[in-house]
Amino acid sequence: MMVKLYQSIAEPLTETMLFDWHKMLMNGRRDLDDIDSYRSHAESMQIVSGPDYNRKIHYEAPPSQNVASEMSTFLDWFITPEKNISAITRAAIAHLWFESIHPFEDGNGRIGRAIAEKALAQGVSVAASHGVLSTG
């Protein structure tokens, strides 16, 4: 997925791109209902703690039926970057926004970090991890 990301750094982030990344990450997973598409289950996506009999809900993501419109708003924002925002700030906002939508059944953390990498790289015109990944 990261190779694909670096090959398309300059391209706008699209729903198709996200679905392709998700499919690459989830390839072979039989335990998921939705691969290369947004989550569609009826249960809410929650961050919880505590024992089963006394769960504390810390965050509840938008319901599955709202994910497509939430992602459309996010993608519109991402592909039209503001001139007065630093690459680091844009990457942080993009990562937090994407994670708060939590559009996929699994893989949101990895895809969210890839989105942050894309935002950073677009802001500095080079892949942010280039120095870490280069051999020379």
- 66 marked as part of a ligand binding site: no
- 113 marked as part of a ligand binding site: yes
- 90 marked as part of a ligand binding site: no
- 76 marked as part of a ligand binding site: no
Q: Given 22, 95, 102, 130, which residue is catalytic?
A: 102
- 106 marked as part of a ligand binding site: yes
Told to judge if 102 belongs to the known catalytic residues of this protein, a careful annotator would answer yes
Name the region of 82 (left: φ>0; alpha: ψ -120 to 50; beta: rest): beta
Q: Report yes or no: 135 and 23 within 8 Å, Cβ to Cβ.
A: no
The single-letter code of the amino acid at 122 is Q
- 108 marked as part of a ligand binding site: yes
Residues present in the chain in total: 136
The residues, any chain, with a CB within 8 Å of residue 82's CB and separated by 6 or more, are 90
What residues are designated binding site for ATP?
106-113
What residues are designated binding site?
106-113
Report, as residue numbers or ranges, the catalytic residues.
102
